[in-house]
Structure 1
Amino acid sequence: MWRRGANLEGATANFVETEQLVEYEDLTSSFIQLRGSIPLLWEQIVDLSYKPRLSIIEHEETHKVVQRHFHDLSQRYGKIIVADLTDKRGDEGDLSNAFAAEMDRIPGVRYIHFDFHHVCRGGNFDNLQALYNQIEEAIHKQGYFLMNTKGEILLEQSGVVRSNCIDCLDRTNVTQSFLARKSLDSQLQLMGALLSSESISLSDNIHDTFKKLWVEHGDELSLEYAGSYALKGDLVRYGRQTLPGLIKDGMSALSRYYLNNFHDGVRQDALDLISGYYTVSQGSSSPFHNGVDSSSYLPVASAIIVGGITATTFTLSQVGRNAQHLISSIICAGLTVGVVALVKANGKQFCSRPRLCGLI
C-alpha cells in the first residue's frame, strides 16, 4: 500500500513479467504478458478505512514519468497494448481518466479502458471476451515465441499486453488468465496438439491444470505484494463465483486490511533497507527514534471501544430494573462514540507507516 504508481524514473511499484511456457514433442513455445501499476505519480495512504482514497500527486515531471516508463517497455518488448481494468467512477475513475489523458500523448502505444467490475459484474468471467474482441487482431500480430529442439527460432513475439487495475492483482490475474488461455489454444493448434477448431476447454485434464497454474500464480503474486491470497480465484478456476470462494475472498480481504494498516509500514522499511534504497549513515540519528509512535495507542483505544460497547449493552439490559442505568448507558455510549470518532479522525496516525524513505 505504501508504494503506488511510479517513481520519477518511471519504474512502477508493482511490475511483473509473466511467461507461459508449453512444450509439445520437439517444440517449445512461450507467451509473455506484463502487469504494472498505473505509471502516474499517485498515492493511497492507509487510514483505517477499508478502501483508502486515491490521490493524484500533481508534479511537473508527470508526463516525462509516463514517457520513460513506456519508452523502456517499447525498447524491451516491442509494441505495447495497455489494458486498463479500473472503474470509471469515484477515485479510480479520476485516476483512470488521468492515465487515459497521458496515454493520448504517448505515440505508438495502444490504450484500451475496460471497466472490469461493470462489464463482468455478477462474476461473469466470459464477458472478458468483449475486451479480447477489441485486441484480438493486435495480439495475433504480436504472436508468441516458438523454438524447436535444435534451438532454431521459428517464431518470435513482437509485443505484449500490459494489464493493470489498481493493485494489479485480482482483476489483472483474471484478465491475464483469459488472454493466456486464448494464446495457449493458438499455440497448441500450431504445434499440432489441437485441431484448428479445438480448445483446451475440451480436455478436462489440460484445462484443470491450466486453471490451477493461474490460480496459484495469482496467489503467489498477491502474497508477495499484499500478504494474502488473491481474490476472485473462483473466476479463474470455475468461471464463476462460488460460496466457498466468497468465504475465502472475505478472509483474504480481512487479512489484507489488517496487514495494510498495521504491518505494511514496517515491511516497506525492510524492503527499502534490503534493496539499498535507504542508506544507513553513521552520522545521522535513527528515523525510528523520531517522534511518538501513535500506533502504540491503538490497542488502548480498541479496548476502550470494546469495553464501552459491552458496558452500553449491559446497562441497557438493566434499564427496566433501574432507571439510573439509562444514564450510565448514555455516558458509556457517548464515550464509545467519542473514542471511535477520535480514532477515525486520526486514522492515518494509528496505522503502520514507513519511516526510512518518502513516497517519491
Structure 2
Amino acid sequence: MRSLQKNFNDPQEGWELYDTMFVWNEFLTRGVRDILKTTLWTVALVYGFFKQDKFAICGKDIMLTLIARRSRHYAGTRYLKRGVNEEGRVANDVETEQIVYENMLGPWQISSVVQNRGSIPLFWSQETSKLNLKPDIILHEKDKNYEATRLHFENLRKRYGNPIIILNLIKTLEKRPREIILRWEFDRAIKIINSGLPGEDHLRFLHWDLHKNSQSKSTNALQVLLKVAFEALNMTEFFYCQVSPDQRAKGSPNLSPTLKIGFGHHACDDKNCGNADYVDDLDDISQEDTCGSSDPGNGIAEDKFEVNGSAQIKRPKFQKGVLRTNCIDCLDRTNVAQYAYGLAALGHQLHALGSVESPEVHLDSPLSRHLMHFYERMGDTLALQYGGSAAHNKVLHSMLLYSSICQKKTIGSLFLPQYACLLK
C-alpha cells in the first residue's frame, strides 16, 4: 500500500492505510470501518504484482522483492481507458518498487527504489476494431491549457518530490502518423507546463524511440537505456536504511527522529535538485562504448556513519523524485526501460549493502538475467491485467542477446589483429 521509504519515515496504522490510491476496496470497506470504528475486521486489497526470491552473492544471502501497485483511480482495460481524466489521474498508473534486503546477526540492512509508469497524460483515445490491429489515435482538444496534465504531475510531485523525470518511448518515425501525434502534443504540453513553474519544479523530459533503436544494428538499445537509468538514478538516488539490534528488539523499524528526512516535495533541501533539463531526443547519446560495460556514475553520495550505542550505523539514504516511463500501452517497451532502471539500481543497492565492491552492472551477468526474470513476470502480469494478453518478452530477450553478441565482438576485435599479424 505504501513504499518502504514512506513507511519508515511516516509509520501509520489503521485508517490512514486505506487513504491511498492503491487500496482497491477502500470504498467497499468504508461503511464497515465507519460503524466499527476499527480496521481490525477488514483487509486492504492491493492489485498488481509481487515476487520474492533469495539468491547468494559472495556467500551472502540476499532477498530480492519486486512489487507493482496498480492505482484504483481511472482504472480499466486497454482501449477503454487511455490518457488522463479531469482530475489528473492516468490510465494504467502503476508504482513499481524494488526491495533488496540482507538479514544479518548485527544491524540488518534494507534498500528500495521506486519508479512509475502511466499512460500519456493527455486526452486521447482509440476505437477498437477487429479489422484494424493498430487503431488510429484520436487526440481530443478539450484541455488546451493542459490543466489535467498539470494536475497529474503535481500529484506525482506530492507523492515523490523533485525531480520528476519523464522517459517517453513512443515512435518518432511512422509512415502513417499515429504515435507521433501524441509525441508532438506531449512535447508541447511539457514545455507549456515548465514555462509556468519555478526552476526547481521543472519537469525533466527525455524522449527516445525504443522501437526504432532496438531494430538498429548500430545501437545497443538496452545499453543506452542503462546509461539513461544511471543518470536518472544519480538524480533521484534510492532509499537505504540500517537498523540496529536495539531497534529490532524494540520492534520499531522506523527511523529515529535524528535520522528522519521528510518524504515528498520537502525531501531535498538542495534547490538545484529539480532544475530544468529538457532533452528532446536521446539519439545524440554517444554509441562509442555501447558494447562495453555500464558506467555506474559517481553522483550518489558515499556512505557515512553514526555511532548508535556500541555499533556504527550507516546514515540512511533517501530517494527524492521519481522516473516516470511511458510508451503507448505502458506495457512492453515500458517494461524494458523499467528493467534497465531496476538493473542500474540493483548494483547501487547491493553496493550500499556491502555485498559487492562496485555498483557497476554487466548485462551478461547471472544477476542481470535473474532480475530479468522478475521483470518479465511482472510485465506479463501487468499486461494480462490491462491488455488481456501476456507481454512480448521477445523484446527484452532479443536486446539481451544483442548485448551478449556485441560484447563478444568487442573481445574478438582485441585479439584478431594479433592473429592477423602472425599470419603475415
TM-score where L is the length of structure 1: 0.62
- Aligned AA (2:328): I
Over aligned residues, Cα RMSD in angstroms?
A: 2.3
The 5-angstrom pairing of residues 94-173 of structure 1 reads: 94-107=181-194, 108-121=202-215, 126-134=220-228, 136-150=230-244, 151=253, 152=255, 154-173=316-335
The 5-angstrom pairing of residues 253-292 of structure 1 reads: none
- Aligned AA (1:17): E
CA positional deviation for 1:237: 8.4
The one of 42, 62, 65 aligned to 2:124 = 42
Structure 2 residue 147 is matched with structure 1 residue 64:
yes
Question: Hey, what does 1:221 align to over in structure 2?
Answer: 382
Distance in structure 2 (CA, Å) of the matches to 1:156 and 1:207: 24
Distance in structure 2 (CA, Å) of the matches to 1:176 and 1:148: 26
Question: Hey, what does 1:184 align to over in structure 2?
Answer: 346
CA positional deviation for 1:184: 0.5
Gaps of 5+ in 1: 242-360
Structure 1 residues 73 and 231: CA distance shift in structure 2, 3 A: same
Q: What secondary structure sits across from 1:22 in the alignment? A: strand
Bigger mean CA offset, 102-111 vs 126-135: 126-135
Distance in structure 1 (CA, Å) of the matches to 2:344 and 2:369: 15
Aligned residues: 240
Structure 2 residue 97 is matched with structure 1 residue 19:
yes
* Contact in 2 for aligned 1:6/1:41 (Cα 8 Å): yes
Distance in structure 1 (CA, Å) of the matches to 2:115 and 2:217: 23
Distance in structure 1 (CA, Å) of the matches to 2:121 and 2:345: 26
CA positional deviation for 1:106: 2.2
CA positional deviation for 1:212: 1.1
Distance in structure 2 (CA, Å) of the matches to 1:98 and 1:230: 27
Q: Deviations over 1:194-239 (max 9, x none)?
A: 11165375752x3332111111010110010011111134515871
Question: Hey, what does 1:312 align to over in structure 2?
Answer: none
Q: Deviations over 1:214-267 (max 9, x none)?
A: 1101011001001111113451587148xxxxxxxxxxxxxxxxxxxxxxxxxx
* Contact in 1 for aligned 2:348/2:359 (Cα 8 Å): no
CA positional deviation for 1:40: 0.2
Distance in structure 1 (CA, Å) of the matches to 2:362 and 2:221: 19
- Aligned AA (1:148): Q
Q: Deviations over 1:70-91 (max 9, x none)?
A: 0110111112100000001321
* Contact in 1 for aligned 2:222/2:400 (Cα 8 Å): no
CA positional deviation for 1:139: 2.2
* Contact in 2 for aligned 1:63/1:102 (Cα 8 Å): yes
- Aligned AA (2:224): A
* Contact in 2 for aligned 1:3/1:13 (Cα 8 Å): yes
TM-score where L is the length of structure 2: 0.53
The one of 232, 242, 267 aligned to 2:393 = 232
Question: Hey, what does 2:361 align to over in structure 1?
Answer: 199
Distance in structure 1 (CA, Å) of the matches to 2:119 and 2:218: 24
Distance in structure 2 (CA, Å) of the matches to 1:66 and 1:35: 15
Question: Hey, what does 1:91 align to over in structure 2?
Answer: 178
Gaps of 5+ in 2: 1-78, 195-201, 245-252, 260-315, 403-424
Question: Hey, what does 2:137 align to over in structure 1?
Answer: 54
Question: Hey, what does 1:332 align to over in structure 2?
Answer: none
- Which of these two proteins has the greater Rg computed from alpha carbons? 1
